[in-house]
Amino acid sequence: MGKLEGKVAVVTGGGSGIGRAIAVRYAKEGANVIIVGRRESALKETSELDSKISYVVGDITDSNAIKNIIKTVNEKYNGQLDILVNNAGWCPVKPITEMTIKDYDEAFSLDVRALVEMTIEALPLILKSKGNIINLSSVGATHRSVNLSMYQGAKAAVENFTRVWALELADKNVRVNAISPGAIRTDIWNVPGLSEEEAKKHEEGIASTIPCKRFGEAEDIANVALFLVSDEANYITGSIYAVDGGMGAL
């Protein structure tokens, strides 16, 4: 028996990177997992990694897409939803001198508004199952970097939502936690146009700023995501778990 046998989970942004790693880990532990994203090709690739993974194509900045996710849960699993992982996000890299209000709208629409709406729509099912919500934050929520104001501002909001929701839902036996990744080896770090040697130097430059002197892997986040929704973590809520190679300690 896996740790999540009989559970049902929704993972947004599950087609690649951290979302994919979480979905695969949950499925291997026995959960039925619905992943959500805009690119069907990536979702299909992930679903082919385990028979317990299915997918819904949709942009969660669109309310209709969120309603379709809940409809799928109701139809496919009779309204059972034990775990919601709000993973989808977007990171614009620009100084404020080049920023437009469109950049703000795009970042906060996905990183904050969609996360809130997804949670609101899923909450009746989560309350019924006395389930778990995990929000993906970032080390940038508390450790600032230039050119990332929109992303880091959005993730700071996510951390505060996490703590307040945890307080509001604790007596209803629903736990809400966040994971705060540092530099994790995903496509987000790829810089177009770099040669193989230049890309290696780029990665080494970032790694040199990390106390552990290396990037983390998406599976490192999945390990914590599994723990937080397991019975072993039944007294943990309102926590922000850093998985950052020590960056948050600086």
* DSSP symbol at 211: T
Q: Which helix (H) or strand (E) holds 9?
A: strand 8-12
Q: What angle do CA 193, 143, 159 make, to 5 degrees?
A: 105
**Contact in structure between 211 and 149 (CB atoms under 8 Å):** no
**235 tagged catalytic:** no
**Contact in structure between 82 and 129 (CB atoms under 8 Å):** yes
Residue in 26, 55, 77, 151 annotated catalytic: 151
Burial of 223 (0-12, 13-18, 19+ CB in 10 A): middle
Cα-based distances in Å from 147 to 93, 106, 107, 116, 188: 5, 15, 13, 25, 15
> Which positions are catalytic?
151
